[in-house]
Amino acid sequence: MADVVMQETKEKMNKAAEALQRELGQIRAGRANASILDRVMVNYYGAPTPVNQMASIGIPEARLLVITPFDKSTIKEIEKAIQTSDIGITPQTDGTVIRLVIPQLTEERRKELAKEVKKEAENSKIAIRNIRRDAIDSYKRQEKAGDITEDDLRSAEKDIQQLTDDAIKQLDAIAADKEKELLEV
């Protein structure tokens, strides 16, 4: 039973790190990154469909995304979806492909985005600490029920704290990488 709690805790903490990675991938860094299109949905035959399921997305240059629709008749719909999305880039099309030129970020905007990265990282750390609290509570209930000893509880708390420390280090590394990417000119 105790091993199950430990395994679930580890999985939840890994998912929190993956969620932070995904969230930070959405932040535009003045560099082409296909993940900025992850939330863009195109109305395709009445159903909202992600762009990456309707087209191939290439990065031929550092600040250029090229979207090549699988079905050329959807190019106008994809272009419209990008224009109405919150990514803030105007698409350019030549009838067969859509180009997104990623504008260079101003110093002020870079600093704002760096603050946003810190905020997202802090939210993820809160999630990690909540996962830790839930796991420790679960062990305390097991100890109260007589399923584990007091020594087992102390040992489990120590292991959970180690998992938490490792997860927070991982979150800090993810955030530091994104901040570095944002702040380099």
At 40, which CATH number?
3.30.1360.40
The predicted model scores a pTM of: 0.68
Token digits of residue 158: 């120590």
Q: Which domain range does residue 93 map to?
A: 34-101
User: Same structural domain for residues 72 and 112?
Assistant: no
Same domain? For 8 and 62 the reply is no
- Which residues, other chains included, contact 6 with Cβ-Cβ below 8 Å and sequence gap of 6+? 135, 156, 159, 160, 163
Does 63 lie in the same domain as 128? no
Residues 84, 139: one domain? no
Q: In angstroms, how far is the first alpha carbon of the chain from the final one? A: 51
118 & 64 share domain: no
Written as tens digits, the pLDDT of the chain (185 aa) is 558 888 999 999 999 999 988 888 777 666 777 777 877 888 888 888 888 888 888 888 877 888 898 888 888 888 888 888 877 788 888 888 888 888 777 788 788 888 888 999 999 999 999 999 999 999 999 989 888 888 988 999 999 999 999 999 999 999 998 888 877 75
| Residue 114 sits in the same domain as residue 91 | no
